[in-house]
Every structure is written in structure tokens, then in C-alpha cells.
Amino acid sequence: MSETRQTADDGQTTTDSEPDGVSAGTDQPLEVTSGETRERTRDAWVEHEFEGDAKLSVSDLDVYYGDDHALKGVSMEIPENSVTALIGPSGCGKSTFLRCLNRMNDRIKAASIDGSVRLEGEEIYQEGVNLVELRKRVGMVFQSPNPFPKSIADNISYGPRKHGDLDTGLLANLLGRSDDDAVDELVERSLRQAALWDEVQDRLDDNALGLSGGQQQRLCIARALATDPEVLLMDEPASALDPIATSKIEDLVHDLAEDYTVVIVTHNMQQAARISDQTAVFLTGGELVEYGDTDQVFEDPQSQRVEDYISGKFG
Amino acid sequence: MAGATESTLVSEDTTETEAVAAGAVGLAAVLFALSLAAMFELVTITDPIAGVPMVALLGGLLVLLGLAVVGFGVGSRLGYVATDPRPTAGLVASGAFALVWFVVGGLVASQTLGLGTAGWVVASLVTGGAAFAMSALPREDIGSTLPAGALAAFAGIVFLTGVIGPSWVWDLGWEQQASFNAEFTIPVLTGFCSLLVGWAAAKAYGGFGARGRHIGAYVLVYLNALSIIAVLFLLVAFTVLKGLPGLFNGLAFGAGAGPEVTLVGVTFSLPLSWPFVMNGVALLNDVNGVLPAIAGTIWLVIGAVLFAVPLGVGAAVFITEYADRGRFTQVVEVATNGLWSTPSIVFGLFGLAFLVPRLGNQKSLLAGMLTLGFMLLPLVVITSRESMLAVPDEYRDASAALGVTKWQTIRSIVLPAALPGIVTGIILGVGRIAGETAPILLTMSGSVAPPGSQTVDVVGGFQFSLAPPFVTNPELMRATSALPYQLYSLITAGVGQSSNIGAIDEFRWATALILLVVVLGFYAIGIATRYYFRSKLQHE
């Protein structure tokens, strides 16, 4: 089992893989990808100063999949109405971190989570949290486009209809209480936000599976926006798409940051540099190594390992 | 071109030899079709075709094909035909040929020549061994054509010389007086030999080697698939042809021709009189019919489906979506699979011993519905579970990420996506239960040939009262008939011979045809439903 120790003198955090094998004075973690420089992570590297309030604050988050320690003592604050990119090599825990923010990891039976995640100061890992409400406020878009096998309009209105916010059922229709107009409005607004309206406005009743991959992914974004979330989590939303579709998604993310807090996982470092305001770098072993302003992280990283990773020496 | 082993990248135009080989394949296919036709007695083996008796025609064709195939092999070996053969025909082909010739040698020695046990064993070993050596040792072109061609030619000569003629009977000499006659033996031998030479000719057409083997296998698989479809088609056609005369007895059109019916208080005469499906069996009927049995079968299936589908789908939802995968779900799985393979007579006995005493203590439609529902249940569970497991987890994740609860996800996403599979399961199950005889015999059968007045009328049978139980339906509690049961008792028990059903044979076949139509009708409804749900899930 690994553990995180706070050394009293300099406030540095050392992460070891084995408690007895390496003493507190040894500053080299054992688990490194070949080609990685060995170094100690420092608390200062993950401190990111920003103006305004933190939308999400994570502190000391540990995630285990069975015996596997997937995320080690991650703490970070995510500012409101901005784009935060999470980058790092495969298996570094960035997707796991993302799925902790709306408790999607609850759906994995082997996962156990320890630590604290606060949404606007409210702890989401406590008794009595309403997962429906949480996931309405923290929406998610997945790696591969996964529209439901329903019509485009039904995909968009699915969330609000199931939440009971909109009612288009037979009974509502009979009683004259149907929200058909509100649904049409919602569909148009969400599709416009996701920059898909112009392409699909003539075929809203067609099956969503008939759209191209890029359109499907924007439909998924529109579907997530339809529940009016505050935070939008995106798990490599463009990794399965061609360059043109990718650039559309990137533009969209950029626009969305005006009204939403976007947290996006990506494999593509150029993409992170292009679209994000701040960047968090996770490295092998599930630790957050550096977090800060995107320009600073990419141009002047404090960690040698991060610099090596960004310049393509490993990972 | 002696021993041509090099192959060209681009083959020339169709050569004469290829054309002849293709002709041989086609002739083999025709021969196979002829043998099938003879097997189902569409043609009789004694009938002359163009002045030649059928047997002689089959024999002559076999000899011709056998010689042609052998000719190809020898021609290829001597280098007259450009081919690309392997060094040997392979162990599987050799083993198959050895087995075939082993049997042929044994049969000829023991049955035709009348040798004893030692004699036929030696003869079998000699012919089998020779066939094995003939196909395994020489090059592929000889190895795969010679044993096949020789067999076809041998069978042809046997037919031509009349050793196996139309009046030939092979008495097995058993206690039970079993024998094979020529009407069966000749088509079987012809079919088998035509497959064998067809395969060899197809190989020759492909020039042996990898391409030849591919074409040989293709021809075999194709002919087999065709013959399966042909058997199915023949079965349906046979039933239809036999059933039609009885089915349309006394059919009449025209205003007021049919019986009077009352719908929503209005009484009128149907413009169609179809006695076989509108009458029961009664003394004064001009033409007797099976209306009570038709109504019984339809209501049985509807009742069983209404009972089993909600229960089965609900159980499947629980074990796939809610229960943790573990010992419990395994036990449920084993139990449902076991239940599905339980013989129907056991279900029938259960219905008789458990349901009947509790439901009015008499055989009834309701007991039959429930018994068949129990039979249908496991298949509905199994197929619903399979199709729910096939719904991608991405849908569930996406729905959960939108903050939708599990039950709503199941109802709005999982079940609609699984519906085509569930409907497929119901179709298969209905196909089984609609034709069941044993459970009906034990739980709901009334008189064998009920009169039309005993037709169950479940819809009209509801009675409402102000006192509990408020709604009753005596029709459900009545013993009635169903098509498979009626057919069974008409055939085996000989019932009806004595009663006033006139042409009993016509009546039986017409009943069989109606049963087929009813079951296929349920199939059609199921397939249309599945098509509808599937088209809703897919684009275009």
C-alpha cells in the first residue's frame, strides 16, 4: 500500500510505492515509466492562484480499484466558467479523477473513494447526496459518442423529461398540460449551443444513430446541456473523431466556457494548450504532478517530468 | 503442360475443359434434385421419362458422370488438362472414401454374394483399403476423382443391370420384419453419389489445389442448404395440397351467405360462408368444421403470452439489472435452462395435478393457459436476459450521467433497445406452445369434436355483478378443444370415424393445415412486431 506523507520541514509531499522500501528522505518514487526522470513532487507545483470562486474543490482524493491505488491524494481547485484540461499518459488516473466529480465511479463496484470533493462548497461524498440532482448540475460527455437509439429531439429532451421537468406523455396531452412547445424550444436551444442546429434542424425526428460521429458527439454535448448543468465533464470527447469534427468540438468547448465550468480530459497536448485556461498534469501512478495556468504549464513547467512529458520524451 | 504446377495470375477465357467440368457439376445438381424428387414421390422410379425408365435414366447419368469425373482426373494426371493439384487429396477425403468403399464392399459381399462374416469383413477391408490407398497415395487429381467417379459408375451399373431394380427389396432379416425397398434406396444412393461426383467435378473445375477445394466445398454447402430449403418447402406444400380440399368444402360467397353474427347490438349476415372454420361438428351440419378448436388455440396462446411475458420480462430485468452477478443469478440461469428443456408432458402432469384441482376441479381453458404459460416462461426469461445483456453499457452510463434513475433508464432505454430480442423469444416460444398436445390433453381437453355451440367466447364471457368477485368469466373455466389435440385424437384414437364427420382423411389434413396457418399467423404477427420495434431503433 502506498501512502502520502507530509514532511514537516519543507512542506513537500513524497509519494512512495512501498512504505518500508523507501524512507522519507528518499526523493525518488519507484513507479516510473521508462524514460521518466525521477524526482519528488512538490506541493507548490499544484497550487494554482486564480481570481473568483472555485466551482469544484478536491482535496486528498484517493481512489482504489480493488487493490489498485488509482489516484493518490489529489487536491485541486477548479475555477468557475473556465476550461480545465487534464492531461497525462494512459493509465495515469485522469479519467478516474473526472468520473469522481459527478460520482460516476459509484457505478463501478470495485471502486472505493476516499477524500473530499466539494461543489460550490457542498461536499458531494457524504450521506444523503441526491445523485440525480448532482448529475443534473454536473453533466458528462463520454469518449465515444453514445446517443440513444431514439430520434434527435428525443435524445435532447430525454433528461428533462425523465426528471419530470417536461411532460409530453399521453396523459399530459389529454389534459392539455403538455410541454410540447417547451420541448421544441429546449431542443433548438441545446442544439444551437452545441453548434448542431443548422445541420439537423430538418431531421429532428430521425434516428440519432444516422448522424456522423462528430455530429453524434455534438448531440451528446447538446443532450448534456439540455439538463442545464453548471459543470460539464468531458472524457476525451474528440479522440474518436477526425480533425474537422475535432476542431468543431474545440470551438464549442471554447464558447461553452463563458457559461459553464468545463473540465476536459485529453490525450492531445496541443488540444489542451489550445482550448484550456488551466492545465493539470497527471503522471504515472495516479498523482497530480503539476497544475497551473496553461501557458505556464506548457512553456515553463516546474517539474522536470512534466517538461519531459510535454516535450514528448515519454508517455 | 505435363505436371503443370505453376499457376497463372490471370486465367484465360473459359476453356473447353472448364466448360465440360461446369456442365458435370450442373448435371450432378440436376441428379441430386431428381433424387430428392423421387424421395418425396414427386416422380416415381418406374415412370418412364422420354421413353426411358427412371431407374435406367438415373443409372445412365451416374455412369456418365462417374466416367467424366474419372476422365478429368486421369487427363489432369497425364497433363492434358492444366491444373494445380496438391501432392495428395488429404487425410479427411481419403478417410471418407475408405469408409464409403468399406461399406460398399461389405454390402456387396454379404448381401449380393451371400458371403459369411469372414467373407464380408475381408471384402470390406480390401475395398476400403484400396479406396484409401487410391485417394491418399496418388496426386490430388487422381486421388479425389477416381474413388468418387468409380463409386458413381458402380452405382449406375447396379441400377442399369437391374441388380437394384424397382421391385428390389432388401429384407434385413431381423425379427421385426424390417426391409428397405427400392423407392427409398435408389433415391438415397443416387443423391449420395451425385453429391460425391458433384464435389469431385467442382474440384476439377477449380483445377484442384486450394481453389479446387474451395469450389468443391462451396458446391457441397450450397447443395445442402438448397436441399434443406427444399425439404421445408415440400413439407409445407405437402400439407397445403392435402389440406386444401377439406378446407374449402362448401365455401360460398355472396350477401347473406354466411352465419349471422351480432356485433355491438347489430345483427347481420357475413357475406362469406366458410363451413370448415365457421362450424363445429354436429349431426345436422352439411360440412363439419373446427371452429371451437381454432378459438381454443388462439385463446390459449393469447392467455399464455399475457401470463408469461410480463412475468418473464420482469424476472429478466431483475436478474440482469438489479441482482449482483453471482451464485443467485447462476442458479436462476440453470433453473430457467432446465425448465426450458423439461418435457411438455411433465408440465401437463403438473397442470393436471396442481392447477386443475385448484381451478374449479375440472379441465379448463384457464388451466391450459397457465400450463402453457409456465412452459413459455423460461424461454421469455432466457431471451429477454440475453437481449438486455446485449444492450451496450454506454447507454446506461449516458443515462446515469444525465441524472436519470435506474428504473427510468431500464424503462426508457434498456427495454426498448432489448424489445426486438424479447419479441424473437416470444415468437419462438409461441411456435412451441401453439403446437403442444400433451399439456392440452391433460389440462383442458373437452370433447374431441365439439359442436360449434361450444366455441369459447372469452370476450363475451365476462359477467359483471355487484357482489364480489364483481367480474367472472365462466368461459375461461370451460373445457374446450385445441387444434393439435383435436388432430391427435382424430388420428390416433380413431375417434370421429364413428361420429358424423364424413371424409375423415380430408378433415384431418384440413385441420393440420389450419394448425399450420394459425401458428404461422402468430409467427407473422411476431415478426411484424419485431420489425416495427427494430426499425424504431435503427436509422433508415
Asked if A104 and B540 come within 8 Å (Cβ–Cβ), the reply is: no
- Same domain for A140 and A59: yes
Give the residue carrying C-alpha cell 473556465.
Answer: A82
B408 in contact with A at a CB cutoff of 8 Å? yes
Provide the shortest C-alpha distance from residue B405 to chain A (in Å): 7
Q: Is residue B3 included in any domain, yes or no?
A: no
Instruction: Identify whether A130 is part of a domain.
Output: yes
pLDDT band of residue B180 (cuts 50, 70, 90) is confident
Q: How far is A160 from chain B (nearest CA, A)?
A: 9
Mean pLDDT, range B58-74, rounded to an integer: 90
Question: Contact B308/B377 with Cβ under 8 angstroms?
Answer: yes
Reply yes or no: is the peptide bond before residue B469 cis, omega within 30 of 0. Answer: yes
**Whether residue B2 has pLDDT greater than 90:** no
Q: Which chain B residues contact residue A210 at CB under 8 A?
A: 539-540
Phi/psi of residue A276, nearest 5 degrees: -100, 155
Q: Do B405 and A162 touch (CB under 8 A)?
A: yes
Return d(Cα A95, Cα A290) in angstroms, integer.
16
Residue A22 lies in a domain: no
Number of A:B CB contacts under 8 A? 78
Q: Is residue B122, in this structure, part of any structural domain at all?
A: no
What integer is the mean pLDDT of B372-385? 93
Cβ contact, residue pair A227, B540, below 8 Å: no
A210/B540 CB distance under 8 A = yes
Quote the percentage of chain A above a pLDDT of 70. Answer: 87
Q: CA torsion sign, B13 to B15 to B20 to B25?
A: negative
Residues A92 and A134 in one domain: yes
User: For residue B477, what are the domain limits?
Assistant: 292-537
Contact B403 A223 (CB under 8 A): no
Sign of CA dihedral B462, B468, B469, B474: negative
Please report whether residue B109 resides in a domain.
no
Report the distance separating Cα B431 and Cα B520, nearest Å.
8
| Rounded-to-integer distance, Cα B420 and Cα A207, Å | 17
One domain, residues A130 and A53: yes
Q: Which residue has the higher pLDDT, B319 or B82?
A: B319
CB of B416 within 8 Å of a chain A CB? The answer is yes
Return the minimum-mean-pLDDT range out of A292-301, B379-388, B439-448, B454-463. B454-463
Flag if B398 and A148 touch (Cβ within 8 Å).
yes
**Which whole-number Å values give the CA distances from B128 to B98, B99, B158, B159, B341, in the listed order?**
4, 6, 19, 22, 42
Cα–Cα distance for residue pair B289/B451, rounded to 1 Å? 9
In this prediction, residue B22 carries a pLDDT of 86
A159 and A295 fall within a common domain: no
A142 and A57 assigned to the same domain: yes
Domain tally for chain A? Answer: 2
Average pLDDT over every residue of A23-31: 44
Q: How many CB atoms lie within 10 A of CB A258?
A: 8
Based on the domain organization, do A129 and A156 belong to the same domain?
no
- Region A283-303 average pLDDT: 86
Assess whether pLDDT exceeds 90 at residue A18: no
Chain B closest-CA separation from residue A190 CA (Å): 14
Closest by CA to B263, choosing from B459, B42, B424, B398, is B459
Shared-domain flag, residues A160 and A305: no
Residue A215 vs residues A152, A262, A297: alpha-carbon distances, Å: 11, 20, 32
**Between A131, A135, A206, which is nearest B539 by CB?**
A206
Domain stop point among B182, B211, B242 = B242
Q: Is B261 helix (H, G, I), strand (E, B) or coil?
A: strand
For residue A17, the model assigns a pLDDT of 40
In a domain, B253, yes or no: no
Closest partner CB to B402 (pick from A107, A133, A227): A227
* DSSP conformation class of A145: -
**Cell 447538446 sits on residue:** A222
At A13, the pLDDT band (50, 70, 90 cuts) reads very low
Same domain, residue pair B236 and B383: no
Q: Tell me the percentage of chain B whose pLDDT exceeds 70.
A: 93
* Chain segment B300-323, per-residue pLDDT in tens: 999 999 999 999 999 999 999 888
Q: From chain A, pick out residues whose CB is under 8 angstroms from the CB of B395.
A: 146, 148-149
The answer, yes or no, to whether residue B11 has pLDDT greater than 80, is: no
pLDDT band at A34; cut points 50, 70, 90: low
The answer to whether B535 faces chain A, any CB pair under 8 Å, is no
- Looking at every residue in chain B, the average pLDDT score rounds to 84
Q: Domain of B323: which CATH number?
A: 1.10.3720.10
Query: Best residue in A207, A232, A234 to probe B by mutation, most B CBs within 10 Å?
Result: A207
Q: Looking at the structure, tell me whether residues B203 and B330 fall in a common domain.
A: no
Residue A119 lies in a domain: yes
Q: Does residue A37 lie within any of the structural domains?
A: no
Is the pLDDT higher at A131 or at B264?
A131
Residue of B324, B397, B417 with shortest CB distance to A149: B417
Best of B325, B391, B402 to disrupt the A interface (most A CBs within 10 Å) is B402
Residues A160 and A126 reside in one and the same domain? no
Domain shared by B352 and B210, yes or no:
no
Most confident of A39-53, A259-273, B445-459: A259-273
| B398–A220 CB contact, under 8 Å | yes
A253 vs chain B: nearest CA distance in angstroms? 19
Predicted confidence (pLDDT) at residue B149 exceeds the cutoff of 70? yes
CATH of the domain at A133: 3.40.50.300
Whether residue A162 and residue B404 make contact (CB cut-off 8 A), yes or no, is yes
Decide which of B211, B242, B273 is a domain's last residue.
B242
Q: If contacts are CB pairs under 8 Å, which of residues 374-393 in chain B contact chain A?
A: 392
One domain for residues A203 and A241: no
Number of structural domains (chain B) is 2
Asked whether residue B5 carries a pLDDT value surpassing 60, the answer given is no
CB contact under 8 A, B403 and A133: yes
- Better-scored residue on pLDDT, A291 or B474: A291
Residues B507 and B428 in one domain: yes
Same domain, B349 and B451: yes
Q: Are residues B337 and B238 in the same domain?
A: no
Average pLDDT over residues B329-334: 89
Cβ–Cβ under 8 Å, residues A36 and A303: no
Q: Which of A210, A239, A261 is the last residue of a domain?
A: A210
Q: Are residues B60 and B206 in the same domain?
A: yes
Residue A258 lies inside a defined structural domain of this protein: yes
Assess B401–A contact: CB distance below 8 Å, yes or no: yes
Domain edge (last residue) among B177, B209, B242: B242
Q: Are residues B339 and B448 in the same domain?
A: yes
Average pLDDT over residues A244-263: 89
Last residue of a domain, one of A181, A210, A239: A210
**Is pLDDT of B335 > 70?**
yes
Q: Measure CB to CB from residue B537 to each of A135, A136, A149 and give the nearest one.
A: A149
Q: What's the pLDDT tens digit per position in A99-151?
A: 999 888 888 888 888 889 999 888 988 888 888 889 989 999 998 889 999 89
Q: Cα–Cα distances in Å, from B474 out to B301, B360, B364, B458, B477? A: 18, 10, 10, 8, 5
Contact A159 B540 (CB under 8 A): no
* B402/chain A closest Cα distance in angstroms: 6
Low-confidence winner among B98-107, B256-265, B270-279 (lowest mean pLDDT): B256-265
Q: For residue A120, what are the domain limits?
A: 44-146+228-310
Taking CA atoms, A232 is separated from A65, A225, B232, B382, in Å, by 25, 8, 58, 39
| Average pLDDT over all residues of chain A | 81
**pLDDT at residue B375, rounded to an integer:** 92
- Cα–chain-centroid distance for residue B136? 37
Residue-level pLDDT at B376 = 92
Question: Residue-wise over A31-61: b if at least 16 C-beta within 10 A, else e?
Answer: bbbeebeebebbeebbebeeeeebbbbbeeb
Domain presence at residue B167: yes
At residue A243, the pLDDT reads: 87
| Res B152: pLDDT | 92
Closest residue of chain B to A162, computed from CA coordinates: B404
With both helix axes pointing from N to C terminus, report the angle between B140-160 and B209-247 in degrees, rounded to the nearest 10.
30
Q: Which residues of A touch B401 (CB under 8 A)?
A: 102, 104, 135, 139-140, 142, 224
How many angstroms away from the CA of A139 is the closest CA of chain B? 6
Interface contact flag, A146 B397, Cβ < 8 Å? yes
With a pLDDT cut of 90, the percent of chain A lying above it is 16
A247 plus A111 within the same structural domain: yes
Position B219 in a domain: yes
Same domain, B337 and B436: yes
Give B500's pLDDT tier (boundaries 50, 70, 90): low
**Pair B59, B174 in one domain:** yes
Instruction: Read off the pLDDT of each residue in B214-219 and give the average, rounded to a whole number.
Output: 89
- The reply to whether A63 falls in a domain is yes
Rounded mean pLDDT, A70-80: 88
* B501 or A212, which is more confident: A212
Query: Does B34 share its domain with B176?
Result: yes
Residue A101 shares a structural domain with residue A170:
no
Mutate to test the interface with B, among A101, A129, A132, A148 (most CBs of B within 10 A): A148
Q: Is the pLDDT of residue A14 over 50?
A: no
Instruction: Judge whether residue A185 has pLDDT over 50.
Output: yes
Residues A136 and A284 in one domain: yes
Q: A42-46, A195-199, B53-57: which has the highest mean pLDDT?
A: A195-199
Q: Is residue A257 part of a domain?
A: yes
- Chain B residues lying within 8 Å of A206, measured CB to CB: 539
Q: What does the alpha-carbon distance between residue B136 and residue B151 come to, in Å, rounded to a whole number?
A: 16
Chain A residues interacting with chain B (CB cutoff of 8 angstroms): 102, 104, 107, 109, 131-136, 139-140, 142, 144, 146-150, 158-159, 162-163, 206-210, 220, 223-224, 227
User: B325 vs chain A: nearest CA distance in angstroms?
Assistant: 11
* Average pLDDT of the segment spanning B392-398: 90
Q: Are residues B42 and B162 in the same domain?
A: yes
Mean pLDDT of B382-400: 91
